[in-house]
Structure 1
Amino acid sequence: MDEGYSSLPGLRVQRLSYRDISSLCSVADEVGWSFSPERMKTFLQSGCFWGHYANNGAVSSAAVFPLGEELSAIGLVMVKPEYHRQGLGKSLVQLCLENMGAPAALLVATEMGAPLYSKSGFTTINDVQRWIFSDTSSSSVVNTAHLEDTYSDYVFEPLCVHHIPSLEALDYQFTGIRRHRILDAMTYRDDGNSLSGGPNRPNLASGVSGIVGLERGSRMFAGFTLVNQSTQQIQIGPVIASSDDLAIQLLHHTVRLMKDLAGTAHPPFRVDVLAHHRSYTKLLEAEGWKLQKISPLMLYGSWNADLYSNHVYGLIDPAFG
């Protein structure tokens, strides 16, 4: 489909940009998702969006997020309820597949969307579990004190801007995919108006938080978390680590950091975990986290997900695969 293609009377397909943030947030609200304008701007900075456009703005969307030469992610596939069952979502997914510039694509599906993606050639390779920690009492910090001695060789520090290049290098080492564009959009302050941002952005974005785990002697990176906070939840992701115990320790320090920053008045914590990390999810359950939702992780084409699956203990966001 070319820009300006009209699949239904009164609608046209076109690239979406910053000017569409308000209408994209409105579509997300109507389908039961909720994104702040700042979060939607991060999505737009990280990928390429298409949508069906009516006179009053976008009524649908889908996005491609480049992850290197071998893989892309497809996400933010959403259609206003009054336009359901008219093929809008299917046509946008096909448009993404035709323009993604890679032979394979990851996608986290909804229960309703999974049959559509299967018909488009996607297969389920894993499940994504959404875990919630909602106890707001100051005394109920995730109890992983029994792990402190195990990881005495590591130190944990709040994220600083000088950590980001090493963080991105570790992310590539542990996942095998190039997510620097997404991580840049999440972490660096963008004071410009272009979707690509500028080459020199020395400050952290407002509100960005996270924890880095460093080897005590060498100061080499061992793992990290990033945090996106909204009025409704504190989303922890990604969580990148070499083992279950290190991952839960990073999560512990992240929860403690955010509680220290927010006090007792904060929304629930959320982390999206690949389901095959069974020992890790048992630790989450033991620490008071509750399983809220399970969504299929689907793959189009062929891609070896072993490295990604071994070290990703929390997704950045289901939109990014």
Structure 2
Amino acid sequence: MSTAAVTDKRSTLRGATLPRWSPWAIAAGSVAVAIGIGAAAGLHSHVQWGLIAALLFVLATYGIAARVEGRRQAKDRVATSLVWVAFLLAVVPLVSLIWVTVQRGVKVLDFYFLSHSMGVVADSQPGGGIYHAILGSLEQVGLATLLGAPIGVLTAVYLVEYGRGRLARAVTFFVDVMTGIPSIVAGLFILSLMLILDMQPFGFAGSLALAILMMPVVVRSTEEMLKLVPNELREASLALGVPKWRTILKVVLPTSLGGITTGVMLAIARIAGETAPVLLLVFGNRFINANPFDGAQASLPLYIYQQYGAGAEPAYDRAWAASLALIAFVMILNLVARGIARWKSPR
């Protein structure tokens, strides 16, 4: 039998298939029909139009694929379509949030805004900046990292390398509980201690609350990274007569350093936007206070909350500009985490 005959025989065994451009054509048709339905029904919300288009896209994909390719292949295409719809439903709000923040935040975001504090500028007046808030956030988050990251990493090392029995189960249980506690609870806990000791609001109190919120995130991420280290590496080190503590220090931790650093960075990004503990414990300050251990201090999330609550148009512009700066800060942290993870990933 010739090669051409075999090719022809194989091609006859395959059923009809939709062209590669068919999903795009179905999507375009669904959007057009959804716009027509929305206009005819008097729907003015683009969200409603999008939901109608998504429903029509899934139904049209199943109907066309079932007619051309069969019901089995149609089910597979519907599953793929649902994944794309879910992806778009997750991405559209994020893109919309970033777009609105950039659009409204660039009005006053400049070097002057980044290098000056509010000082004597009233909330209803233009001017002022976020230098004092940036300084406060960096100090509070930095101190929280110095407290929370080592405790979290050491706790994860204990759970993975040494944890056995009731103590390990109790530690795991409390880590799970701490992961789900609201941030305001951590702030109230530190506030109760401050009231007992008759202390006034200061920046380090906010760092303590942020460290409490940071520790369970670091513990969970570090624990998963340590579990990924092959046991063969531990056994080889122990077989050479290396003590267990030195094996952990020289073999286990360097192997998982990239993942641990990524987890710490993500935990920092998680606490950088907390407002409730800072509102309770740090109290806010319109002037520059570079000492987190003495007096009230500002932070970016608290600055955004206070400015937006002022109710004046210049305050709204400052709040959106500070929001853009905070998003940029979190984005830079995530990019740094990804870069470190790639750099330190095992080869």
Higher strand share: 1
**Structure that is richer in helix per residue:** 2
Kindly name which structure, 1 or 2, has the bigger radius of gyration based on alpha carbons. Answer: 2
TM-score between both structures, scaled by the size of structure 2:
0.21
